[in-house]
Structure 1
Amino acid sequence: MLNYITWDVNPEMFSIGPLTVRWYGALWATGILLALWIVTKLYKNEKLPDEWMDKQFVYMVIGVIVGARLGHCLFYEWHELPKPVEFLGITFKYGNPFLAKPWEMLYIWQGGLASHGGALGLMVAMHFYNKNVTHKGFIWGFDRLVIGAAITGACIRLGNLMNSEIYGSVTDMSWGFIFVRDPRGDGLPHHPTQIYEMLYCLVTFVVTWWMYWKKQAYRRIGLIFGVFLILIFGTRFLLEFIKLDQEAFESGMILNMGQWLSIPFIIWGIYLLINSKNRIVPIEKPKPTAQKSKKHKPKKGKK
Structure 2
Amino acid sequence: MATNITVYDLDNYPDNAKTITTDQTTVVPTGAYGDEKWVLSFTTSAYSDNTNLTAIQDIYVQDLKAGWIKSSGLVSGPYVVGVSNDSLGVKIDNSSKYYYIDVTNGSYGGDSLASELQTKIRAVPTTSGIGWSSSDDSLAYKNSVVEYNDGKFRIVSGSVGAFYTGSSRSSVQVLASVGDTLYDDLGFNLGVDSETLAGVVVKEATVASTYTGGTSPMSISADIGATAGDAVMITNGTNTEYFTVLSGTVTSLEVAIINPHTFDAIANTYSGGGVSKVQLLRAQDPEGKPTSFRSTVDSAVRWGILSIINQIDFSS
TM-score, scaled relative to structure 2: 0.20
Q: Which structure has greater helix proportion?
A: 1
Q: Which structure has greater strand proportion?
A: 2
TM-score, scaled relative to structure 1: 0.21
